[in-house]
A and B are shown apart, each in its own frame.
Chain A
């Protein structure tokens, strides 16, 4: 846990340092007063300082972040989380091309099966309701524009 806190603090140091460097591209002051660079510059400086303080505190402080919790889950939990992420990235990649209905149909068929369901019929009904059914409610009833894919579906 201690190590995880240190890595996270350093990640924030890096992020804030990057934003600090970028903030120099925006005017710090203009004729009316503080410019667009004013607030991000100060925020970045404070974030770098606090993230470094947290890093040194966890590195050298006693009883700091030294609990038993670990960042890495056990194998089956990690696999389930990974399956969810893959499915989400799949939707991200396919949504514009295949449209809402087809990509969500694939998502809702893939995910339950990948998580261990063996009832194909129930999964298919669930996926059809979640893709075509939800599309119908949101697109036609609630008038919410949702993507339609290359097949016109």
Chain B
């Protein structure tokens, strides 16, 4: 039942522009306070992958992605809708997402346990090195300026310094303000950066034009199936394997899936004019990625995206620590979650195929009601974490910052991930140095940590090569 509620809420979040999956999941964390950890995590995870489905509807019908990973779907999905083929576009997206999500869940089941067992060998130096890899991937792959992305990562780490020192418990940067002793709450920050900031930006052009089309014939025709099957297979593989890389985010797998599809197509020139493979492949990759990306979170405790960082926060709030020990100490949570992923994918297929007309109707809600409604839940979410009005102030402040950073085109994901990983990173670094008596060579004399740090260096150097000369101000991705 909780998976079902999560799927419904997730689809709703995905459908509504102005509320991404990160803010949407964060808003609904308070709803799970009174639940036991297992149903709470199942519900929040369902919201996460439900949003991946829901984002497609907005991309196809409005040409605005409901969540960032559906950007590429606009290209062919919207063209199909303009040609009166919105039904097959949404149908193949739902079916592809179901297939991709289910296969990725099966692979997650196979890979997680051996990986978690391997990760049990990690000591503080390896944990630190792993976190450096995670953050360098998020930083290196985000945005078009490596320097700006690095600054945003450091901003998140600096924010994480506020509050009690994670090793000695000494207060830092609290300025005598009592709520700051608990640190800067990541929920108000997520709400601000991804909820309020997005709405402030949407205010510049708030009116959506929904294509009026009959949503019939959702099942693709035989000819369309023929070209879609291969696309779905490739999308599944691409999404899953890229999901294993922490920090890659949901957008890159969908873009790669689209590019690969274009490359293998006999008619690449038709991409962008409304070809069904252009919807099938990225949408499959999107959901396959969503399930695959749970592997680094569950086995290593590294969230690969802001939404997963929020999910990790939800684990912590419910007294669970994602990582290898979770498999050992709370296998009921892990296997309960994995079982719910199978069920959730089936539920989402049911929710998305027959109910697509209902979801499309939601897009006709006037923004004057939609955005205040979303803000109401942002306020509720920010307040209820600590029952603190101060957190609403934090949310407003980060809403303004989120708006500014979006305008600057500086990436927000590194800040959120660094904020949540900062205390773990500091604890691992300082404990390692305590073990070695202050000798930094501990990170280079242990093979796993040395290997991981070399990998982090390679990621940063390759990102620098890719992004230099630094450019900004280009038009946003066409959609």
Interface residues of A (CB under 8 A from B): 1-2, 4-5, 8-9, 12, 15-16, 19, 22, 26, 29-30, 32-36, 38-40, 43-44, 46-47, 50-51, 53-54, 57, 61-69, 71, 73-74, 77, 80-81, 84-85, 87-89, 91-92, 95-96, 104, 107-108, 111-112, 115-117, 126, 130, 134, 138, 142-147
Contact = CB atoms under 8 A, between A and B. Distances in A.
Interface stretch (B101-109, B165-173, B226-234): B165-173
Contacts of A69: 407, 409, 473
A95 B391 CA distance: 12
A146 B383 contact: yes
Nearest to B378: A88
B34 A142 contact: yes
Contacts of A71: 404, 407-408
Contact of A92 (B170, B206, B393): B393
B376 interface: yes
Given A40-B161, A43-B157, A84-B203, A51 B469 contact: no
A146 B371 CA distance: 22
Interface string B183-224: 000000000000010011001111000000000000000000
B172 A26 contact: yes
Which A-B residue pairs are the 3 nearest by beta carbons?
Answer: A67-B473, A77-B204, A33-B434
Nearest to B387: A145
A87 to B, nearest CB: 8
B367 interface: yes
Contacts of B34: 142-144
Given A54-B145, A69-B409, 7 more contacts: A33-B430, A33-B437, A43-B161, A50-B151, A50-B154, A67-B472, A68-B475
B172 A92 contact: no
15 contacts: A5-B408, A15-B155, A19-B158, A22-B173, A38-B430, A50-B154, A62-B469, A64-B470, A64-B471, A65-B145, A69-B409, A81-B204, A85-B399, A95-B392, A126-B369
Given A32-B434, A63-B469, A95-B383, A88 B196 contact: yes
A68 B372 CA distance: 31
Main secondary structure of the interface of B (DSSP, over half): helix
Contacts of A4: 407-408
B205 A77 contact: yes
Nearest to A55: B147
Interface residues of B, number: 67
A73 B472 contact: no
Contacts of B165: 26, 36
B396 A39 contact: no
Contacts of B403: 81
Given A19-B161, A81-B203, A112-B368, A39 B471 contact: no
Nearest to A104: B376
Interface of B: 30-31, 33-34, 145, 147-148, 150-151, 154-155, 157-158, 161, 165, 167-168, 170, 172-173, 196, 199-200, 203-206, 366-369, 371-373, 375-376, 379-380, 383-384, 387, 389, 392-393, 396, 399-400, 403-404, 407-410, 426, 429-430, 433-434, 437-438, 469-475
A80 B203 contact: yes
B396 A88 contact: yes
Contacts, number: 200
Contact of A40 (B158, B196, B475): B158
Contacts of B148: 5, 54
B272 to A, nearest CB: 23
Contact of B158 (A9, A44, A84, A142): A44
A33 B433 contact: yes
A57 B468 CA distance: 11
B475 to A, nearest CB: 8
Contact of A84 (B200, B383, B437, B470): B200
B368 A65 contact: no
Contacts of B31: 138, 142
B376 A34 contact: no
A64 B155 CA distance: 22
A81 B400 CA distance: 10
B368 A116 contact: yes
Given A43-B161, A47-B155, A117 B473 contact: no
Contact of A91 (B173, B392, B434): B392
Contacts of B475: 67-68
